[in-house]
Amino acid sequence: MAAPVWSVDPRTGQQREQVGTEATAVDVDAAVRAAHGALEPLADRAVRAALLRAAADQLGAASEEIIATADAETALGRPRLPGELARTQAQLRSFADEIEDGTYLGITVNHADPDSTPPCPDLRRYRIPLGVVAVYAASNFPLAFSVPGGDTASALAAGCPVVVKAHPDHPATSELTAAALRRAAAEVGLPEDVLTVVHGFEAGVELIKHPLVAAAGFTGSVRGGRALFDAAAARPAPIPFHGELGSLNPVVVTAAAAAERAEEIGAGLAGSMTMGTGQFCTKPGFVLAPEGEDGDKLLSALREKVAEAAQGPLLDSRMRESFLEGISARTELEGVEAPVLAGAGDDGHTVGAGVLTVPAGKVGQPQYELLLEECFGPVTVVARYRDDDEVSAVLSRLPGNLTATVQLSGGEAAGDGGRGARLLAALTPLAGRVLVNGWPTGVAVAPAQHHGGPYPATTSTSTSVGATAIERWLRPVAYQDAPDALLPAELRESNPLGLPRRVDGRWER
């Protein structure tokens, strides 16, 4: 008999309701085959755009129930969840705009040129959908990175039906949002199976192995993501696996910046690393700050603000236990101090935020490798450096990240002395988004956004936020010397759909 799927309140640890049952291998097979059957109806770009806008509307119509349920399952509360829902709706509508614009198709035409060396035939290239996409939902964003989130929105925009493996931390929210998207599909005349949700650990394993699944998107832990990544690569026909696994999100504070605005930087860091009880994938978890009086002022401001932060629940008891174990292991390292000790809250379900410090010179030693791993929750490590050589030595040991931030003085930001440019150059190989005088929590949904980074931040070079996220679910195909009447409408000489394209090296709109 299939195991039940329960919705649990993280504030109390109590079961709320049984949402359903875990999917069996037979259930997963049925879901994937039904999704595969929706490929042809989903091929119409205009219908896909209508689907995404209708999905945004349906989520809005059910917003009160969705927000209340998400809060009951995640304790993320207001104003966080209404803001996340608005962001999710905006993502859906932005991908509808992207479909209608058509630039994402990458249409390129080279007319035949027999006089070139070597001779060039008539070539016409564009991008087509891969097929059924498996999406593994995130725990910490029950809307924006879950069932109706960016992976789903971009895959549907590309013309790929989606089967979502729901996250066990918010199964009821997953079912509500899936129902909204399925209603939207029916509203625009598409099969509801353009999107299906399955539950359970084994369902996730079966999903990545299914021969009709053409690609996968994942947001979660390094351990879980790497296991699925390896499974995707081990298939008889390997598939693309776009995983977001973990990120330290380092921050470098220059001595000049600390001298100029130590208290401001300390307070800003505290707000960023405690936001959402430290459960953002872009939480700054490692900071290089100078020794000396100005560094002390920064640390004092950070300590004061973190000590004032309210205790809060993590998304589930397993994450809470992992966080507490991580704090304990880090504080046992020689030379690691805790100006504010993170730990268990007063009620057995919450945790308090904390700050750890360590001399930067110790970070290069093998026994301190743990400090360079993400600790999911409200804590950051401040490594105090003496000089630029120590900064460079630590940066050389950092893994790949989603973000890297540098806090500069006014003069450094203006280019004086070249130090700001050198630090940007040093941080660029480490992250997909490099910030100057800001904080990484908060990821704008914009065409120029990049939410990804070198491994283990992600398993590919793509982004999961912004317009170009659609490219993950497409593959290019070129036609050579094909008669115009046989070509897809997107590639015909007269450009009957009026799409932007590059013809013989020049863009036409």
C-alpha dihedral sign at 82, 86, 91, 92: positive
405: which strand partners?
A: 251, 435
Q: What local confidence, expressed as pLDDT, does residue 395 receive?
A: 97
Look at residues 139, 143, 178 and name the one whose alpha carbon lies nearest to residue 161.
Answer: 178
> Domain residue spans in the chain?
20-102+128-245+460-473, 250-436
Angle between helices 80-101 and 63-74 (to 10 degrees): 120
In terms of Cβ atoms closer than 10 Å to its own Cβ (0-12, 13-18, 19+), residue 366 is exposed
Class of the domain covering 250-436: alpha beta
What is this structure's pTM?
Answer: 0.95
Using the predicted structure, report yes or no on whether residue 152 has a pLDDT greater than 80. yes
CATH code linked to domain 20-102+128-245+460-473: 3.40.605.10
Using the predicted structure, report yes or no on whether residue 2 has a pLDDT greater than 90. no
Element (H, E) at 300: helix 293-308
Q: What local confidence, expressed as pLDDT, does residue 1 receive?
A: 72
Position 348 confidence tier, pLDDT thresholds 50, 70, 90:
confident
Residue-wise pLDDT tens digits, 191-221: 999 999 999 999 999 999 999 999 999 999 9
Residue-wise pLDDT tens digits, 91-142: 999 999 999 999 999 999 999 999 999 999 999 999 999 999 999 999 999 9
What percent of the chain clears pLDDT 90, i.e. is strictly above it? Answer: 97
**Burial call 189-211: b when 16+ CB within 10 Å, e when fewer:** ebbbbbbbbbbbebbbebbbbbe
Q: What local confidence, expressed as pLDDT, does residue 377 receive?
A: 96
Residue tagged active-site, from 98, 175, 206, 281: 281
Q: What local confidence, expressed as pLDDT, does residue 364 receive?
A: 84
Measured in whole angstroms, the distance separating CA 36 from the mean position of its chain's CA atoms is: 25
Question: Are 20-102+128-245+460-473 and 250-436 the same fold in CATH?
Answer: no
Average pLDDT over residues 483-499: 97
Distance set, CA 156 to CA 6, 175, 211, 375, 377 (Å): 28, 18, 19, 33, 32
Q: What local confidence, expressed as pLDDT, does residue 346 receive?
A: 83
Q: What is the mean pLDDT of the chain?
A: 96
CA distance 163 to 144: 16
Residue-wise pLDDT tens digits, 252-284: 999 999 999 999 999 999 999 999 999 999 999
Residue-wise pLDDT tens digits, 160-173: 999 999 999 999 99
Q: What local confidence, expressed as pLDDT, does residue 146 receive?
A: 98
Using the predicted structure, report yes or no on whether residue 342 has a pLDDT greater than 80. yes
Query: Omega into 79 within 30° of 0, i.e. cis?
Result: yes
Whether 244 is a known active-site residue: answer yes
Strand order of the β-sheet with 474-480 is: 474-480, 123-129, 108-110, 501-503, 506-508
Whether 22 is a known active-site residue: answer no
Residue tagged active-site, from 84, 206, 244, 374: 244
28: which strand partners?
A: none
In terms of Cβ atoms closer than 10 Å to its own Cβ (0-12, 13-18, 19+), residue 30 is middle
